[in-house]
């Protein structure tokens, strides 16, 4: 939605930017006028239309807010040839016999006879095959766009009955959208191009004047569309802007401007040539009135072309309805010729009519009023808010002031108390300082005394040191002596230990010898016992031989008196007892040494 809206917006601004100036502006607007029976003989069954449109701005609707210079816009005329219908086919009508169109040259040739014809130029020439869409886009769309830009515009269909005016303008195209006429397409474009803030008013008028003197306009239909669009900021010049005290942009003071424009789509009553229409009775009267109405229209256009100060818009209801479309009365640049009721003259004069286009802008006082009321409401609310704010600020400031006073009193009291405390503290410190100074002096005296004492002690120490050295030397000598004694004792102890070990070795040797001797003794004892036993046995045997017995007995006694090893044994016993005494002595000495060594 947004993109399509933006697209539309850009398209609109693009269109606005392309609104031509000067005479070229005329090409963007069109007025269609049907060229009817006056143009072509009825029996030729040529149905063609002449479209013309122009925006207008009646003096009464002008406002002092518009600063746009009027722009000239020429009336544009188009002709459309409709295809032959069943009736035409029945009557064997052949357009080609009398009409030759050259769309590319925008020219229509009317054949007078086989060898002569008259050529007429139009702004647009549509052939039978021209689609409704193309007719709309070429003839009516520029007008619609112009109306959306704020100009008035008119699309008018003129032509004799049955030539396709209603088909071109008012076809709804319910069944086939491609057949939709100018009116439906124009409404679609307008509705799709406007936004919610724009207002569109559609009026549908049928000029039925049965109660009036003339019923000529009874078949003229107008859908006459009023568009009221606000001019956006970027389109209008902002007169001035106001800023509030804070520099914010407030209400700009500009009066909103709206553009009022109208699109008039007129399906004129069919124009008939009485002499060729075959109308009778009431139809004749009606046809006269119709022609009279169209004649009034012709007179108006004629007056426009002649730059006449008076445009006879009141001559018929039709011209009265089209008054707004003649808005360029006084600004129009007109053609020189009059407006004869014939095809050639109308075409020419219509194409010469130049209206002055002017944007119809006016101040939107209602919107301004609403805006101002909103602004006043906003300002009142702002004032109330400011007053409340100020009250709050005043209360706040008063409270702050009270708090300041209180805190000031507190601070003052605290300062006084602090000052008193500091004074006391100062006196106390002064006393302490005095005491400290006295103490310092005392310490100084003490220090001096200590210095002198230290000097004295140093002197004493020197003496003591000398004496001490002598004592020390003596002690050292004594110590040396003690050490030597100790060394000597230790040596003796070592020798005694060695001696003791030797003795132990000897003891072991002697023990071994003793054991060997004991063993020998045991052996000898056994030998003796054996000898004694032998002797006993021998004695028993020897009684007869007393001598032998005695010899043997003496021999045994000798042997007994002569111990084999006893001297040696005695000797060993003496040695052992000597050794024992030595060992005891050594042990005694060792004990003494151990006691001596272990003594401190």
Ligand X SMILES: Nc1ncnc2c1ncn2[C@@H]1O[C@H](COP(=O)(O)OP(=O)(O)OP(=O)(O)O)[C@@H](O)[C@H]1O
163 is an interface residue for ligand X by CB under 6 A = yes
CA 261 to chain CA centroid, nearest Å: 44
Among 120, 136, 167, 326, indicate the residue that binds ligand X (CB under 6 A). 167
Among 16, 109, 117, 166, indicate the residue that binds ligand X (CB under 6 A). 166
291 is an interface residue for ligand X by CB under 6 A = no
278 is an interface residue for ligand X by CB under 6 A = no
42 is an interface residue for ligand X by CB under 6 A = no
253 is an interface residue for ligand X by CB under 6 A = no
State the nearest-atom distance from the C-beta of 179 to ligand X, in Å. 8
Sequence-separated contacts (24+) of 89-98 with Cβ below 8 Å: 91/45, 93/44, 93/45, 95/44, 95/45, 95/46, 95/128, 97/44, 98/40, 98/41, 98/44, 98/46
Query: Which sign does the torsion angle of CA 546, 552, 556, 561 carry?
Result: positive
State the nearest-atom distance from the C-beta of 46 to ligand X, in Å. 12
Among 55, 270, 328, 345, indicate the residue that binds ligand X (CB under 6 A). 270
Phi, psi of 454 (to 5 degrees): -60, -40
Q: Which one, 163 or 325, has the nearer CB to ligand X?
A: 163
- Which residues in the 81-100 window bind ligand X by CB under 6 A? 82-83, 85
Q: Which one, 138 or 586, has the nearer CB to ligand X?
A: 138
State the nearest-atom distance from the C-beta of 270 to ligand X, in Å. 3
Q: Which one, 164 or 335, has the nearer CB to ligand X?
A: 164
Let me know how long the chain is. Answer: 600
Please say whether the beta carbons of 492 and 586 come within 8 A.
no
515 is an interface residue for ligand X by CB under 6 A = no
Q: Which one, 83 or 546, has the nearer CB to ligand X?
A: 83
328 is an interface residue for ligand X by CB under 6 A = no
State the nearest-atom distance from the C-beta of 184 to ligand X, in Å. 14
Q: H-type helices in 36-140, by residue range?
A: 86-90, 132-135
The Cα 212–Cα 144 span in angstroms is 33
The Cα 545–Cα 538 span in angstroms is 10
Q: Which one, 117 or 166, has the nearer CB to ligand X?
A: 166
Q: Which one, 162 or 338, has the nearer CB to ligand X?
A: 162
Judged by CB under 6 A, the number of residues near ligand X is 12
Q: Which one, 149 or 293, has the nearer CB to ligand X?
A: 293
Q: Which one, 45 or 161, has the nearer CB to ligand X?
A: 161
The Cα 261–Cα 198 span in angstroms is 12
Q: Which one, 218 or 259, has the nearer CB to ligand X?
A: 218
Q: Which stretch binds ligand X (CB under 6 A): 78-86, 109-117, 240-248, 320-328?
A: 78-86
State the nearest-atom distance from the C-beta of 95 to ligand X, in Å. 12
**DSSP character string of 359-376:** --EEE-HHHHHHHHHHHH
Q: Which one, 150 or 159, has the nearer CB to ligand X?
A: 159
Measured at CB, which residue is nearest to ligand X?
A: 164
Give strand ranges (E) for 65-203: 71-74, 78-81, 99-102, 107-111, 117-121, 124-126, 153-158, 199-201
State the nearest-atom distance from the C-beta of 42 to ligand X, in Å. 13
Return the percent helix, strand and coil in the chain, to nearest 5: 60, 10, 30
Q: Which one, 30 or 163, has the nearer CB to ligand X?
A: 163
Among 55, 142, 150, 164, indicate the residue that binds ligand X (CB under 6 A). 164
Q: Tokens 């609403």 identify what position?
A: 370
Q: Which one, 271 or 355, has the nearer CB to ligand X?
A: 271
Q: For residue 57, give the 3-state DSSP assignment.
A: coil
Token pair of 457 as six digits: 């002690």
51 is an interface residue for ligand X by CB under 6 A = no
Nearest to 363 by CA among 254, 445, 453: 254
State the nearest-atom distance from the C-beta of 135 to ligand X, in Å. 8
327 is an interface residue for ligand X by CB under 6 A = no
545 is an interface residue for ligand X by CB under 6 A = no
State the nearest-atom distance from the C-beta of 139 to ligand X, in Å. 13
Q: For residue 99, give the 3-state DSSP assignment.
A: strand
Q: Label residues 450-481 b or e (16+ Cβ within 10 Å = b).
A: eeeeeeeeeeeeeeeeeeeeeeeeeeeeeeee
Taking the CB of residue 545, how many other CB atoms lie within 10 A of it?
12
Q: Report in angstroms the alpha-carbon separations of 483 from 341, 471, 492, 589, 597.
A: 173, 18, 14, 21, 12
* Side-chain half-sphere CA neighbours of 441 within 13 A: 5
Q: Which one, 173 or 253, has the nearer CB to ligand X?
A: 173
165 is an interface residue for ligand X by CB under 6 A = yes
Binding pattern to ligand X, positions 133-162, x when CB under 6 A? --------------------------x-xx
State the nearest-atom distance from the C-beta of 133 to ligand X, in Å. 12
State the nearest-atom distance from the C-beta of 170 to ligand X, in Å. 8
Please say whether the beta carbons of 251 and 375 come within 8 A.
yes
Q: Which one, 216 or 583, has the nearer CB to ligand X?
A: 216
254 is an interface residue for ligand X by CB under 6 A = no
Q: Which stretch binds ligand X (CB under 6 A): 14-22, 55-63, 79-87, 246-254?
A: 79-87
181 is an interface residue for ligand X by CB under 6 A = no
CA 486 to chain CA centroid, nearest Å: 104
277 is an interface residue for ligand X by CB under 6 A = no
Binding residues vs ligand X (CB under 6 A): 82-83, 85, 159, 161-167, 270
């Amino acid at each position: 939605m947004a993109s399509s809206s933006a697209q539309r917006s850009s398209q609109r601004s693009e269109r606005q930017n392309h609104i031509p100036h000067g005479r070229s502006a005329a090409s963007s607007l069109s007025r269609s006028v049907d060229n009817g029976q006056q143009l072509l003989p009825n029996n030729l069954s040529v149905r063609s239309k002449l479209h013309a449109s122009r925006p207008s701005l009646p003096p009464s609707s002008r406002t002092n807010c518009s600063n746009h210079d009027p722009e000239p816009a020429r009336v544009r005329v188009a002709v459309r040839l409709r295809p032959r219908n069943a009736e035409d086919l029945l009557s064997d009508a052949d357009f080609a016999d009398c009409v030759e169109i050259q769309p590319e040259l925008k020219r229509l040739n009317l054949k007078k006879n086989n060898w002569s014809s008259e050529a007429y130029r139009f702004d647009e020439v549509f052939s039978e095959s021209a689609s409704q869409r193309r007719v709309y886009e070429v003839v009516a769309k520029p007008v619609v766009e112009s109306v959306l830009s704020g100009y008035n515009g008119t699309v008018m269909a003129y032509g004799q009955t049955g030539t396709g005016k209603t088909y071109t303008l008012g076809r709804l195209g319910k069944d086939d959208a491609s057949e939709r006429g100018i009116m439906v397409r124009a409404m679609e474009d307008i509705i799709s191009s406007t936004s919610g803030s724009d207002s569109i008013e559609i009026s549908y008028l049928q000029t039925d004047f049965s109660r009036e003197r003339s019923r000529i306009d009874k078949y003229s239909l107008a859908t006459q569309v009023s568009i009221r669009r606000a001019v956006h900021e970027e389109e209008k010049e902002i007169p001035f802007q106001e800023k509030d005290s804070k520099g914010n942009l407030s209400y700009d003071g500009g009066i909103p401007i709206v553009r009022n424009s109208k699109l008039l789509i007129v399906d004129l009553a069919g124009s008939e040539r009485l002499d060729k229409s075959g109308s009778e009775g009431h139809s004749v009267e009606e046809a006269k009135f119709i022609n009279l109405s169209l004649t009034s229209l012709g007179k108006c256009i004629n007056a426009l072309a002649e730059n006449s100060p008076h445009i006879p818009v009141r001559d018929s209801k039709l011209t009265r309805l089209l008054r707004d479309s003649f808005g360029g009365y006084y600004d129009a640049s007109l053609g020189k010729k009059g407006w004869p009721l014939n095809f050639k003259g109308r075409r020419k004069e219509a194409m010469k009519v130049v209206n002055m286009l002017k944007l119809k802008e006016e101040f939107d006082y209602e919107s301004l009023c609403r805006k101002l009321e909103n602004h006043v409401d906003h300002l009142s609310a702002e004032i109330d808010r400011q007053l409340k704010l100020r009250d709050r600020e005043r209360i706040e400031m008063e409270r702050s002031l009270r708090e300041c006073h209180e805190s000031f009193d507190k601070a003052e009291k605290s300062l006084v108390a602090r000052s008193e405390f500091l004074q006391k503290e100062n006196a106390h410190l002064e006393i302490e300082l005095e005491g400290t100074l006295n103490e310092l002096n005392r310490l100084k005296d003490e220090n001096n005394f200590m210095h002198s004492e230290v000097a004295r002690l140093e002197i004493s120490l020197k003496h003591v040191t000398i004496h001490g050295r002598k004592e020390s030397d003596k002690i050292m000598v004594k110590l040396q002596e003690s050490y030597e004694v100790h060394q000597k004792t230790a040596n003796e102890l070592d020798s005694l230990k060695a001696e003791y070990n030797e003795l132990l070795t000897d003891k072991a040797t002697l023990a071994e010898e003793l054991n060997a001797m004991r063993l020998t003794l045991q052996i000898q004892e056994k030998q003796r016992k054996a000898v004694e036993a032998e002797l006993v046995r021998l004695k028993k045997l020897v009684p007869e031989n007393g001598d032998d017995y005695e010899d043997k007995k003496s021999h045994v006694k000798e042997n007994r008196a002569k111990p084999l090893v006893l001297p040696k044994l005695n000797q060993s016993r003496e040695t052992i007892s000597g050794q024992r005494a030595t060992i005891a002595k050594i042990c005694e000495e060792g004990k003494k040494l151990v006691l001596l060594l272990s003594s401190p």
